[in-house]
Every structure is written in C-alpha cells, then in structure tokens.
Amino acid sequence: MLRRFAPAKVNLFLHVTGKRADGYHLLDSLAVFPAVGDVVGVAPGEAMSLEISGRFGGVLGAETDNLLLRAARALRPDGHAALFLEKNLPVASGIGGGSADAAAALRLLARYWGIETPLHEIALGLGADVPVCLESAPARMRGIGEILESAPILPRFGIMLVNPGIAVPTPAVFRARQGGFTPPAELPDGWADAAAMAVDLARCTNDLQAAATGIQPVIGEVLDVLAALPGALLARMSGSGATCFAIFATPEAAELAAAALAVDQPDWWSWGGGLYDPALADI
C-alpha cells in the first residue's frame, strides 16, 4: 500500500481583502503545516472505494461523497483503487483536514495510476485550500487560494492546536462576518526568532474570528486559555474555526503546554509540537 501523511494547515493570519463578482471572497493568509495530521493510503481495488478509521473517522462515515472520492474521480473518472483514510484531525475545524486529505489522495493516485498531469487546477476545483496542501509547505495564499507565493523565512518555533469539540461551517461564518475588507499584510522577508514573528503577526488579524466566536462562544474561551498559557507568544483562531492555536518559542514548549492542557481540559482535542517536514510525506 502507498501511504501519505496529510498534515493540518494553520492560517497564522487571514485577511479578507475583497469579494469577486461570483461571490467568492479574496483572501491573504500565511499558511503553515504542523506535524500532526491524517494518513491517506491507496491500494489495488476492483472499484473505487474508501475505508475510514481513526479518532474522528466516525464523523465522516455517513458521507456518500467524501472529498477523497471526488478527488479520485476528478483525476480519473473511470479509475479503480481502494482508498484508506486514518482521520486523526477534527472535522470542519478550520485546519484544512479535508483539503489535506484530498491533496494527499491526488498525489498518491497520480503516482499509483502513472498520471503526470499537473495537479494544481484539479486541486483548486476541489476546494480553495487544496492547492496549498499539495506541497504542505509554508506559503502565502492570495486570491481565493489559487495564488501561492513563497512564505517569509520562518524561524524554528512551536505551535499548539486546540479544538473544543465543535464544528463551525465555513459558509455560516462568512455570512456572519461584518465590516469591510482588510488590506494585505505587510511582512518582512523573514524573522530571526519566534518572538519577532509573533510581534509582526499580532499586527495582522483573522477576519473570521469574531464571526465564528459569535456562532460558537466557546472559541473565545479557548483563545483566553491559550493566551494565558506560560510562554504563549500569540493566540489566534485558524481559518474559519473552531480550532485555535498558540505560538511558542520552541516545539518542545508547545508540546509541554499541550500535555498540560490535556489534563485540565480532557474533552478538548489538543496537540503541540513543531512544523511538518514535507520530505517525509510518503510513509
């Protein structure tokens, strides 16, 4: 079986910069990929099938049109393969789990079927976050997600993720968003350390955070808890929520903070560590 890791995607900031005539919002964001995620596998099969396991697999069990199957059909409508998904990330949680799974499936199936077609356009047709998940490397996202640019040079830092166990539908968050648009962020070419990065990121925003918190007030509670943790340099919501993150000086500090929070809040999903190494994609 071919297997590929599908790491979570975290938006360190997310500015809504405008809106197209077709209703799609234009965004500016810095995306990074922590070393936590789902695992996608592909093996020979007589038909196109999908088997789901993992902590959050039951949530997806009732879906008849999972994004992995859509990715397979988009790549090769008549293709046969057995897909496997180990769902370790919360569903509909603002960290691109479904998009990462679809991107991993595209990569694996293209390899399995010997397809050399560029995957970017196919990925965009599946969702705005899927193109950036193809590489799973830090990137600046613009447009509706189709414009990808190099990220600033990132220092070594730690990141902690927390989800309070609730789902927030992205369309509802965009509908609840109030106010105008935010200009693109002004970022340096890189940062010397996590503290300097956190200072600059604090000048940015997540323009969906207030709307998501209005729908699910527990998000505000999570942010307060994260901001109060010793060593936390910045606390913010990722994407359209409800997963929130905190930045720490080192991966080790983030891991320790997550372990402590798991004792205090056992019903919340949490993880802490560093960024994912794309060289380790195939496992």
Residues catalogued as catalytic = 9, 129
- Mention every residue, 6+ apart, whose C-beta is less than 8 A from residue 128: 24, 27, 144, 145, 146
How far is residue 246's CA from residue 202's CA, in Å, rounded to a whole number?
12
> Which strands sit side by side in the sheet containing 147-150, from one edge to the other?
10-19, 25-32, 139-143, 147-150
Instruction: Provide φ and ψ at 31, rounded to 5°.
Output: -105, 135
Give the DSSP letter string of 125-169: HH-TTHHHHHHTS-EEEEETTTEEEEPPBPPP-EEEEEE-S----
Distance CA 96, CA 76 (A): 23
Residue 74 · residue 46 · CB < 8 Å: no
- Amino acid present at 264: D
Q: Going edge to edge, which strands form the sheet with 48-53? A: 2-7, 37-43, 81-86, 48-53
Residue 111 has a CB neighbour count (10 Å cut-off) of 14
Q: Which of 129, 220, 199 is nearest to 157 (CA)?
A: 199
